[in-house]
Copies of this chain bind each other. A is one copy, B any other.
Amino acid sequence: MSAAGGEAAAPAETVTFELLAADGQARRGCVTTARGTFQTPVFMPVGTRGAVIHLDARDYDELGLEVVLANTYHLQARPGTDVVESLGGLHRFTGWDGHFLTDSGGFQIMSLGRRPGGANQPGRRSGGAGEGASHDAKSKVDDDGVTFRSTYDGTRMRMTPEDAVDIQRRLGADIQMALDVCPELPSPPREVRAAAERTHLWAARAAAAMSAARRNHSAGGQALFGICQGGADPELRRRSAETIAGIGFDGYGIGGLSVGESRAEMGPALAAATGVLPADRPRYLMGVGDPARIVDAIAAGVDMFDCVLPSRLGRHGTALTPHGRINIRNKRYAQDATPLDDRPADADGRARPGARFSRGYLRHLMSVNEPTAGRILTLHNIAFLADLVGDARAAIEAGQFAAFRERVNAVWS
């Protein structure tokens, strides 16, 4: 399926995507990697520094998670790639044996480095500005790579596409992401185009670096996903997806969306990308955790999602519910004895994390800054999004996805 030969990655050996059901463009699939399988559509919570904030591996198991993100940028800075590698890689490091997908670090380098404070990014993509930025300075991108200052101590650092592959290899990711250039939106068309072109050059170099690692047997079964860019311009987006697909990867990230553009603008760009990405590879829309955008993207044929949204909202007191967002700090919940989550146990018989605690109790804990509250709301919000994609899987299997999407949009759009 790879249009390019020679240095290209050998995707079919590393990842398979089995299409179990389809409903329109929406796909219900199963991804198999060297580690095992996961069901799609999937929502992947973000463990920026090696842990989803407030949670640990025991929680991932209890939530039934199959994939968790880890942030290359943050981990290479603290505790450092050497340390994670010497402690056995991400799985032994964190005590979890599910799938880890690592981002390339490029998004953090650029969002943290955009301006002092790094605050001009929505920051919903994993571990960007707002997930611990403290020492920001301008990043500088050239054709060869990116130069930046560490947000931790200001050290001047350099990362090339080859470096990103090597760092993620040593971190022990199950799925690596190629280093990309991600402009915020809106940006001048010229900049969006230049970012896409540089992303393509870097993607080919990342693929070559991974091929080399595979030839010398140092890749340990790791998968590499390419990332298409192109902003919200459908034509540019389509060409970028074609170019990345032509290089040949185990799966495909769709980057540079949900970075400032409206949901209406995102749709055509997304459809342009999924329309040309190979049908037999998983597709991953990066940084999207809003229920309405998730179902839009599933309808367009996307399989994988990540976002810091459920944990960030949760620890600040916002809970996702079947009726929309609620702010648990609101005085109306002070004497509310109803549980945060009054739905029955999930399909696997697991009690939902918000089922045991009343809104009044959580309102109290949040208002006196007890970390227990942020933890419970984080667990709840992640379970909520896990349920959402689980319900989407069931709806696709049943051929009822359009009706499901309508129900979600009635609440979330």
B86, B92, B334: the one within 8 Å of A79 (CB): B334
Decide: A368 and B78 in contact? CB cutoff 8 A: yes
Decide: B95 and A356 in contact? CB cutoff 8 A: yes
Complex CA gap A132/B367 in Å reads 13
CB of A57 within 8 Å of the partner chain: yes
CB of A38 within 8 Å of the partner chain: no
Decide: A370 and B88 in contact? CB cutoff 8 A: no
- In this complex, what residue of B is CB-closest to A52? B372
CB of A410 within 8 Å of the partner chain: no
CB of A361 within 8 Å of the partner chain: yes
**Size of the chain A interface, CB-CB below 8 angstroms:** 41
Decide: A95 and B364 in contact? CB cutoff 8 A: no
CB proximity of A369 to chain B, nearest CB, Å: 8
CB of A335 within 8 Å of the partner chain: yes
- Which A residues lie at the B interface, using CB under 8 A? 49-58, 74, 78-79, 83, 86-88, 92-95, 132, 334-335, 337, 356-358, 360-361, 363-365, 367-368, 370-372, 374-376
Decide: B51 and A370 in contact? CB cutoff 8 A: yes
Decide: A83 and B49 in contact? CB cutoff 8 A: no
Contact A87:B335 (CB < 8 A) given known A93-B358, A93-B360, A358-B92: yes
Complex CA gap A370/B79 in Å reads 13
- CB-CB under 8 A from A364, the residues of chain B are 49-50, 78-79, 83
Decide: A56 and B376 in contact? CB cutoff 8 A: yes
Sample 13 A-B pairs with CB under 8 A, ordered by A number.
A50-B361, A54-B375, A56-B357, A56-B372, A58-B356, A78-B364, A78-B368, A83-B364, A87-B337, A87-B360, A93-B360, A95-B357, A132-B368
Complex CA gap A55/B374 in Å reads 11
Complex CA gap A31/B92 in Å reads 43
CB proximity of A360 to chain B, nearest CB, Å: 5
- In this complex, what residue of B is CB-closest to A315? B371
In the A-B complex, list the 6 residue pairs whose CB atoms are closest, starting with the nearest. Answer: A79-B364, A51-B372, A95-B356, A87-B360, A86-B335, A49-B368
Decide: B87 and A358 in contact? CB cutoff 8 A: yes
Decide: A92 and B337 in contact? CB cutoff 8 A: yes
Complex CA gap A356/B97 in Å reads 11
Decide: A361 and B93 in contact? CB cutoff 8 A: yes
Contact A371:B56 (CB < 8 A) given known A83-B360, A86-B335, A93-B358: no
- CB-CB under 8 A from A51, the residues of chain B are 365, 370, 372
Complex CA gap A87/B368 in Å reads 17
- CB-CB under 8 A from A358, the residues of chain B are 87, 92-93, 95
Decide: B371 and A54 in contact? CB cutoff 8 A: yes
Complex CA gap A364/B53 in Å reads 13
Contact A335:B83 (CB < 8 A) given known A357-B56, A361-B93: yes
- CB-CB under 8 A from A376, the residues of chain B are 56
Complex CA gap A372/B56 in Å reads 7
B132, B361, B375: the one within 8 Å of A87 (CB): B361
- In this complex, what residue of B is CB-closest to A360? B87
Complex CA gap A357/B58 in Å reads 10
Contact A88:B337 (CB < 8 A) given known A367-B78, A375-B375: yes
- In this complex, what residue of B is CB-closest to A373? B51
B49, B132, B356: the one within 8 Å of A57 (CB): B356
- CB-CB under 8 A from A92, the residues of chain B are 337, 358
Complex CA gap A356/B58 in Å reads 9
B52, B74, B95, B367: the one within 8 Å of A361 (CB): B95
Complex CA gap A372/B88 in Å reads 20
